[in-house]
Amino acid sequence: MRNPHLDKHLAAKAGVKNPASSVSSFFSLSAAHAHASHSILSMDIVLTHFTALEALRSPSLRKRLAKGQRCDANLPDRPPTKEELTQAMSSLPDSVREIDMPEILLDHDAPRSRPRHVKTHRAISSFPSGSAVELAPGVRCVSPEHLVVQLAAMLTELEIVCLLSEMLGTYAIAPGLEKGMFSRDQPLTTPELIKGQLEQLGPVAGTAKTRRALKMACVRSASPRETKLSLRMGLSKARGGYGFEVLSMNDPVEVQRIHDSMRTGVRKPDILLRAPGDSGASGVTLRGVALEYDGRDHEGAEQHAADVERHNELTAKGFNEYVVTRRQYADLDYMDGLAEAIRRDLGIRKVRVTRAVANERRCRREKLWHELEGIDGVNWSCLTSKDEGERDPDPDQGDDGWDEVPVEAYGFE
């Protein structure tokens, strides 16, 4: 039952002189407007592909994504209008909202269309339950698990390995920030969640490559450089790596704190390499080798003392430790020598090969280094083409933030 006083007030607001005869039409218009607003909100806009990646990397969405929540998505059978898209995107961070042609996911059976204001993709199959993340009311993006499968068909296998390592790591590439990245408390996803997504999707495009890449990806890496160092150490010799077994990355190791009356403390080595059979060279018990990547110059006495303290605490727990600097990382001869020292530490028997095989493996190691240097997480191979005569990266340039992420890799001068 209507309230006559309310009818009169609404009619006056609308500029109607005869509320008795016009209020019905006013309510009809209001209902139609409410229905239109509801239709916009009831149609999920699902960000996908590189637009979804931009959203997952947004510092403004860090807290929301940290909850790890997944949801379903009702994929539309048509692209949103420009007005619908503007309204939906208005609550998203600038880095996402200002994308000229955001990528939107449509239902697998949606008619093909090429609107000018948005780039559409059709789902590769039926969209699995729980494969989306809510960013704002009515706006979702595909989950990290689904995203890597989508991009697998477009990227090289090594690019997918690096992307997986970021999703499974505690960092996000963000070229707009001073350091080119930011840290997360927890990874966006886990190997188990990705395997679950692969099972849900079945044998569709991208799943086979993702499955292969997942076996090589790093877990809990804290920076792009840690990822690349770990890949060089852990990939098989056939793929250009040194073939060591990476035990963990940034996992806590209980030590006795030398400066604190030998109280129990924790160190988190960047990379731990497993010692076969817990025995090292000359029969000395060794649990493994710790690798630390450090792009800074350690000239200060205080920093040097801290490094020695960390080294001694790890050594006391049965871990040999090596620190790899920016210049050393880029020096293939040095890295080959370091790998040989680690092999001796771990007590791994040296297998003699012919000169031809040795030269071929070195070429593969050099190729791997070049390929990794070309992967910056922004300029993907499917989006850009590089000149064949491009000069090699200079390890002496790009000091600012290089220890966290190679800023020069983003194309900055």
Torsion sign across C-alpha atoms 103, 109, 110, 114: positive
- pLDDT value at residue 294: 83
The CA distances from residue 317 to 264, 274, 312, in Å, are: 12, 14, 9
Domain ranges of the chain: 4-40, 43-142, 224-373
For 84-137, the pLDDT digits (tens) are 999 999 999 999 999 999 999 999 999 998 999 999 999 987 899 999 999 999
Residue type at position 299: E
166: left (phi > 0), else alpha (psi -120 to 50), else beta?
alpha
- Cα(38)–Cα(259) distance, integer angstroms: 64
DSSP state of 251: -
Q: Return averaged pLDDT per consecutive 10 residues of the chain, 413 residues in all.
A: 40 44 39 39 83 97 95 94 92 93 95 92 91 95 98 96 98 92 96 97 94 97 96 97 92 69 74 73 68 70 68 80 91 96 92 96 98 95 61 44 40 31
Total-model pTM: 0.80
- Cα(136)–Cα(156) distance, integer angstroms: 32
Residue with tokens 């028997």: 349
- Cα(219)–Cα(96) distance, integer angstroms: 27
